[in-house]
Structure 1
């Protein structure tokens, strides 16, 4: 349906994961002790996507017939591995969720998916999807939009690569990210702006707290 009805394009970027990895390592034990769940990368990306949507609301808009519908709340689907392959349960009202609530919800989804207990009501109604092929070793891919959504973010593996930084060649843990979007709803400038915002927030996680 997406290939047939939508005008799909994919834009790419790369993210230096150094700062978010350092932050995660610094607080992982305290986070685990307080909430009983590990601090993963997905909660950072969910927060970064939410930040990007606040700047570029078209990413969360949907075509319904001839109407373009915007939302004032954000339900984000997160792909998890299940007994019969990947499923995409939806985190409801992400704008109200903390890091711990996101991680706990994803862990609960993953358990239910492995037990084939994900209900249809948990798969419906998302306005955007995040998928992480990196857990399977993917370097780069072009994710497919889940209609009637207008965008999907693909995360990939973290690999050390040489990059140019301040005129020097350094080794950094890098991740390629891909945003596939419906060009009927989102234009190229908006898509690139959104993905660059995700990159900026992940590379400097304090932006999430300072709202800058």
Structure 2
């Protein structure tokens, strides 16, 4: 028999949550078959079978938090054919009047003690039935955690036999239905749906709150005239697509502008480590992506060494992986500065929250035609975008933050200057 254990998942990850089992007890598996999906703070990981055999036990259920090295299941080396004969009592009845070997060996705990659950339609795993017979537990009295009502080995193992005895308070509970459904009474009997946050959503929530509690966060704003960039894209997009097989989007311009501004204002590319300031001499830019399981920030490595096409290809690649939940941990770790684009959802203005331990994040927003004064006598409608820089005021002064944002603005309004920054 071999054990199914939680594998090591990276330096910063010590635990995960069982998101979904792809097998059930009694299933035959081969080496490499996917057994379950584990949700971590950053990505979902598939755990595969390292041995062939039969799923003998599933010890931890969907939704359970588990730690690295923990045993969450067991695989028997037997095949399905070998397992089947060992459970004749569950597949066919003994001849009437016959005395079975089990009845002779265990007269005080006959199989019938647990079998009423079978007759009543209760479903239980083979290992749960076996353990129930050994302990003389009525499966009808076992409280399972499976929403579909199936009883597992762990449910029987954790069962408290005293819970099967009626308590003095039982009649009071039955006469007060509202006490059994506090959620309904909380909202005056109106319909609600209560569901547990995913592990990733819990992590996002905790980190955002932590960032606000530990950093002296401040946001400064500016606006960018996108006329020049939109003109370049209009003139060059077809040739760019033909040559590089990728669209010329806005993100490559913003990534290049951010790198140029970081070179001039290096404290925005730093982090705080105790009483030290760690200035990073490389430019790994995180790009926030909204995926089904929650926000993730994959990293474009060494963005300062990449051209427009390489940046666009890498962003498309990372975004596709994020939405298909196939990002690796290495693609999410690190990052020196982050860009987030709320404009794709229609946001006109926002204050982005820092992606700790980074000390700067740039927020992009919706492009909107607005009247802009060209000189004292005339104005034009221009495609304008508000940009926001949130920064950690502990090491970044206001003047430096404003200078950084003005530099980003100037580089974007003169796209040719971005070539010099490369």
The answer to whether TM tops 0.5 is yes
**Which position in structure 2 is the counterpart of 1:61?**
270
SS of the counterpart of 1:157?
Answer: coil
Structure 2: how far apart are the matches of 1:208 and 1:60? Answer: 19
Which structure would you say has the larger RCO, counting Cα contacts within 8 Å and 6 or more residues apart? 1
Structure 2: how far apart are the matches of 1:115 and 1:105? Answer: 15
Structure 2: how far apart are the matches of 1:76 and 1:171? Answer: 32
**Which position in structure 2 is the counterpart of 1:180?**
390
| Equivalent residues in 2 for 1:62-211, closer than 5 Å | 62-167=271-376, 168-211=378-421
Structure 2: how far apart are the matches of 1:209 and 1:122? Answer: 27
**Which position in structure 2 is the counterpart of 1:33?**
242
Structure 1: how far apart are the matches of 2:337 and 2:274? Answer: 18
SS of the counterpart of 2:382?
Answer: strand
Structure 2: how far apart are the matches of 1:100 and 1:140? Answer: 28
Structure 1: how far apart are the matches of 2:291 and 2:245? Answer: 22
Structure 2: how far apart are the matches of 1:137 and 1:85? Answer: 18
- The number of residue pairs the alignment matches comes to 211
**Which of 9, 18, 27 is equivalent to 2:218?**
9
Name structure 2 gaps, 5 residues minimum: 1-209
SS of the counterpart of 1:166?
Answer: coil
Structure 1: how far apart are the matches of 2:352 and 2:419? Answer: 29
Shift of 1:166: 1.6
SS of the counterpart of 2:349?
Answer: coil
Shift of 1:209: 2.1
SS of the counterpart of 2:407?
Answer: helix
Structure 2: how far apart are the matches of 1:185 and 1:125? Answer: 19
Larger radius of gyration: 2
SS of the counterpart of 1:162?
Answer: strand
Higher strand content, 1 or 2: 1
Shift of 1:128: 0.4
TM-score of the two chains, using structure 1 as the length reference: 0.97
SS of the counterpart of 1:130?
Answer: strand
| Equivalent residues in 2 for 1:13-24, closer than 5 Å | 13-24=222-233
Shift of 1:83: 2.3
Shift of 1:122: 1.1
Shift of 1:165: 1.2
TM-score of the two chains, using structure 2 as the length reference: 0.49
Structure 2: how far apart are the matches of 1:185 and 1:121? Answer: 28
> Over residues 88-115 of structure 1, what are the superposed CA-to-partner deviations in whole Å (9 max), with x where a residue is unaligned?
1001111111111110001001111111
Structure 1: how far apart are the matches of 2:396 and 2:330? Answer: 27
Name structure 1 gaps, 5 residues minimum: none
> Over residues 165-193 of structure 1, what are the superposed CA-to-partner deviations in whole Å (9 max), with x where a residue is unaligned?
12222100000000000001110000000
Shift of 1:65: 1.3
**Which position in structure 1 is the counterpart of 2:90?**
none
**Which position in structure 1 is the counterpart of 2:124?**
none
